[in-house]
Structure 1
Amino acid sequence: MKLHRRLKKILNPISLPVLFFMAAIFIGALLLHAPFSGGKGQVSFLDALFTSTSAVCVTGLAVVDTGTAYTRTGHIVIMLLIQGGGLGIMSFSTLALYLWKKKVSLTDRIAVGQSILNNASFHLGSFLVQVIAVTLLIELAGALLLFISDPQGFPPFSALFHAVSAFCNAGFSLSPDNLMRWKGSWPINLTIMFLIVLGGLGFSVIIESASFFPDLLRRRKRRHLHDAWHVNIVLKTSLFLIAAGALYIYLSEFVFFKPYLPVNEAVLTSLFQSVTCRTAGFNTLNIAAMTDASLLFMILLMFIGGAPGSCAGGIKVTTFRVLHAFITAQLKGRHQIVIGKYAVDRESVNSSLTLLFFSVAIVFFSVIALNFTDGGGVSHGQTQGRFLEILFEAVSAFGTVGLSADLTPKLSSGGKIIIIFLMFIGRLGPLVLLSSVQSFGTKLLFSRPEEKISIG
């Protein structure tokens, strides 16, 4: 009886994503460590575990060169891990959003069984088929565009690999310099950016946005205004962050400091780096050679990430928008936090503040740990910018971005374990992990008397 209760707690609905990703990562590590996956010499198990975690969590950080360290079989394994991780993320997240719209509590939000099956309008099989069909259609279209744009640089398998990696916001590349050789190619850049943006918006927003067009053509008003409100927030905030990031990077790289690219390439690379900071991990510029001003702003963009229900990580654009509205309301002395036509409910505001606190705390303590394992053990004057590299690496891992200032290949064994932990936590999200841990506890049936405390 006790064993049954323990298993029931471990296999509770909120823990399913945690168990799903852990199992996928472990299986992927075993496959990548196998002789048939290794290229130039067999990859160590820790490096295989790192690569598997990075692929399943669609991050893109790599301790070895993906193109040469693994065979074609290894590349297929990595692509399948990316695809499985991306589909798993979008499926779990979209189901969570669906249940959220149906006013299901946080504890039961991922409980697909009873909560969804009681709804006659929802068919789980059709839903999963729709997710897979839309994902594959977008990826195949992207692969075809890459192949047409550069058949030699992107042969069929390479085109498909990069399309899957881009849409799932993974950032894995088979080229040793990532996409730097195509920094001036508008067709390649636009295709990759298109895939990244769609993957960062998420299945729910893509479907909702697509359903707007027939109504617009017929001049009908949307029935579900709240859905339109959510999509509107995601699209507007995402567009603002992309535009702001591109302008800032262009100014910090090519205006205030010595420009090193023609204007057309400077504009394109600035836009691309802004888009890829949405947790994609591709780069057309040498990240380690960028200015500190650019890297600091990119850290902010990576920390925010993409939309909920997408392949992107970070605290999400909706959280950022709610926090912005919260600060605005506090400055104006208003009680309600208003975004557009609606006020945000108190639970969402509390969740946003909690998410921000835990995210900052996780990154902060991880940076401390990385300074112990990879800080060099020398004085601040001797590190020569190592702290910024470590901070950039930690936020990139937590936001499942995959960009690196050349620190990943140099990580110690302890540093690799810390980054693996960050990628895993960042992919699931601190709130999901916290809810999973809380599900093992017991609720108190009493409350204590409250008292005011002096603040500020």
Structure 2
Amino acid sequence: MLLFQRLKERYKLSIYNLRNNVVIPLRIINIIISSIALLSIVYYHGFPKTQETREIIGLIIKASLLFYVIKYLIKITLNYSPIKFLKESWFEASILLLIVVDGLSYYLLNFRILEQIFLNLGFKNFTAYVDVFTQIYFFIIFALESGKASTRLTSLNINPSALLSLSFVVLITTGAALLMLPEMTTCGISMLDSLFTSTSACCVTGLSTVSTATYFTFKGKFLIMILIKLGGLNMLSFATFFATFHSSNTGLKYQSLIKDFFDADYISDTRKILFNILFYSIFIEVLGTILIYFSWNNDIQFKGIADKLFYSLFHSVSAFNNAGFSLFGNGLAENHVNLSYSTHFIIAILIILGGIGFYTLQDIFSLEKIRERRQKKWKKLQVNTKIILYSTLLLLVAGTVIFYLIENNKIMSGMSVFEKISTSFFQSVTTRTAGFNTIDIGSLSLPILLFMMMLMFIGASPGSTGGGIKTTTFFIIFKSVIATIKGHKQVVSYKSTISYNS
């Protein structure tokens, strides 16, 4: 045992100097190779390709993956605690192991394990998508590397709010540049239109100077969906998520940044909240995709199953992130789509779930919270959650009733009672935070337009994907007015006193 300890100490001493000499050059090489591979993928998807360019890009991606494998092995060798390092980077190790096994099986046995698996599952055209799967490998590893690199942002002397703003500037600029690539649009796009579309998608506003349905190719639409997703949750959240696969310690300043963005109560909550947020968002969007897929009106014409599935996914992501982008020329007011009321209802629910805030979702649906409330009967929903739920319900009901009363014999004349209620409810939901429409907004009367402006001003709830002054602010202003009228010196809600500093 003593001999083993001495050998271990000698080993650590021997790699100390080597470690310092290797780490920095390895980082530089990593940046260079990752940049070249990333630019190659951008070229692959953004420009017309020949067979020769396809092969060159394929070789670049494979070479970058080989480098990541070698780099990981070097890091294990130079680590003082290899076993601990493996445990902390298990996800990265699993992906790299899959790459190694798949590569060795191809070069030694002349067949791909993944290809055989997919063929057995019934996917007969897997070979045609080898390049895509290779790029997916790269993006997963690149995301992990970016997550680890993002933790170094704490060394910058920038406060969390400024860093969040900077991340949006980077995301918008990158999105605008990618949308200008030839393969993203059907007939090209100006820099101003590209910048506007990227900004609208990242900031989930839903405004557009060009038709999303006809102006963009499938690649362009897919990119807009990605920008909506990254903008809705903020790309720094994704960077933190991947960073946690590498290390459980992401830094207090970095956790403070996420705390500010998602309105967490404590810094210690951030990692747990982040995992829950990503789980909730992905689960809700996938479930929404499935429900929308089976709810489309049968008269709506799709090119095939894949096209219908993509439309369902796009509208699910757009709805949950309160973006308001649609792949139909007239939005949800398109012929036949405007009569798909079950689809409208599902999209409305997605908008509400995305608009009440992730911390509220966690308080309501977290298994830990549910278990705690069942075991401790006195334990209830947090006051903030109650305020958000009741203010949201009040605004939804008020919006539905007022829209129905004002537009009953106007734009909704000729509809059945059910259709009028459904349309009123949907417009009440989407007006505050999303921007979808099932009717011609330009044909609405002035009174309802003014009321809709008020709803848009209030917006969604704190820590959500929506904007506005927030429902909690509206609630506090409302309660403050009531308290002032009654002559009360304090604002009280649910047996809790609301501070005047709120």
Which TM-score bucket, shorter chain as reference? 0.5 to 0.7
Residue 156 of structure 1, aligned match among 286, 309, 312: 309
Farther off after superposition, 30-39 or 52-61 = 30-39
Letter in 1 for 2:418: N
Is this contact kept in 2: 1:279–1:313, CA < 8 A?
Answer: yes
- Kept in 2, the 8 Å contact 1:183–1:265? The answer is no
2:394 is aligned, of 240, 253, 265, to 240
Gaps of 5+ in 2: 1-153, 242-254
In the alignment, the residues of structure 1 paired with residue 236 and residue 354 of structure 2 have an alpha-carbon distance, to the nearest angstrom, of: 9
Find 2:172's aligned residue among 25, 29, 34: 25
Shift of 1:217: 4.6
Q: Which amino acid aligns with 1:36?
A: E
Contact 2:201 2:231 in 1 (8 A): yes
Cα shift at 1:278: 2.2
Query: In the TM superposition, what is the alpha-carbon distance from 1:14 to its structure 2 partner?
Result: 2.2
Aligned to 1:45: 191
Would the alpha carbon gap of residues 256 and 166 (structure 1) be closer, same or farther in structure 2, given more than 3 Å must change? closer
Residue 419 of structure 2 is matched in structure 1 by: 265
Question: Partner residue of 1:189?
Answer: 344
Alignment of 1:199-210 (within 5 A): 199-210=354-365
Change (3 A) 1:111 1:74: closer
Aligned partners of 2:411 and 2:443 also within 8 Å: no
One-letter code aligned to 1:313: G
The answer on 1:72 being equivalent to 2:225 is: no
- 1:307 paired residue number: 461
What is the DSSP-based 3-state SS (H/G/I as helix, E as strand, rest coil) of the residue aligned with 2:492? strand
What is the letter of the counterpart of residue 165 of structure 2? Answer: V
Residue of structure 2 in register with 1:294 after alignment: 448
Residue number in structure 2 paired with 1:179: 332
TM superposition shift of 1:16: 1.3
Return the letter of the residue paired with 1:311: T
Q: Which residue of 1 aligns with 2:377?
A: 220
Q: Aligned runs of 1:319-338 on 2, under 5 Å?
A: 319-338=473-492
Q: Which residue of 2 aligns with 1:170?
A: 323
Structure with the greater alpha carbon radius of gyration: 2
Matched AA of 1:184 = L
TM-score by length of 1: 0.65
Residue type at the aligned position of 2:282: L
Q: Are the counterparts in 1 of residues 213 and 326 from structure 2 also a CA contact under 8 Å? A: yes
Structure 1, 186-195 or 232-241: larger mean CA deviation:
186-195
Distance 2:443 2:326 in 1: 19
1:50 maps to amino acid = F
**Relative to structure 2, which stretch is displaced further, 167-176 or 331-340?**
331-340
How big is the shift at 1:130?
2.5
Q: Secondary structure at the match of 2:462?
A: coil
TM-score where L is the length of structure 2: 0.59
Shift of 1:90: 10
SS of the aligned residue for 1:338 comes to strand
Aligned-pair distance for 1:183? 2.9
In the TM superposition, residue 110 of structure 1 has moved relative to its aligned partner by: 3.2
**Structure 1: stretches of 5+ with no match in the other structure:** 1-6, 96-107, 349-456
Alignment check: 8 A CA contact 1:28 1:52 kept: yes
Question: Is the aligned partner of 1:13 residue 2:167?
Answer: no
One-letter identity of the residue aligned with 1:328: I
- Secondary structure of the structure 1 residue equivalent to 2:384: helix
The amino acid of 2:338's aligned partner reads K
What corresponds to 1:385 in structure 2? none
Q: State the 1:233 CA deviation.
A: 0.3
Q: 1:29 to 1:232 in 2, by over 3 A?
A: same
Identity %: 39
Name the one with the larger helix percent. 2
Please, which moves more after superposition, 202-211 or 297-306?
202-211
> Shift of residue 8 of structure 1?
8.1
Is contact 1:89–1:310 with CA below 8 Å preserved after alignment?
A: no
Instruction: Go from structure 1 to structure 2 and tell me whether the alpha carbon gap of 1:90 and 1:198 turns closer, same or farther (over 3 Å shift).
Output: farther
- 1:209-266 Cα offsets, whole Å, 9 max, x none, are 11454455556221xx6x6111000000000100000000000000588824222211
Shift of 1:120: 9.0
- Evaluate the alpha carbon distance shift between residue 123 and residue 213 of structure 1 in structure 2; reply closer, same or farther with a 3 A threshold: closer
Matched residues in 2 for 1:62 and 1:201: separation? 25
Once the two structures are superposed, what CA deviation does each residue of 1:83-126 show, in whole Å capped at 9, x if it has no partner? 0011118959xx9xxxxxxxxxxxx963769xx9xx895462x5
**How many residues are paired up?**
321
Amino acid in the other structure paired with 1:34: L
1:56 and 1:85 in contact (8 A); partners too: yes
Q: How does 1:32-431 map to 2 (within 5 A)?
A: 32-39=179-186, 41-88=187-234, 91=237, 110=257, 121-122=268-269, 124=271, 126-150=272-296, 152=301, 155-180=308-333, 181=335, 182-211=337-366, 213-215=370-372, 217-218=374-375, 220-222=377-379, 228-255=382-409, 259-348=413-502
Contact 1:89 1:311 in 2 (8 A): no
Please name the residue that 1:452 is paired with.
none
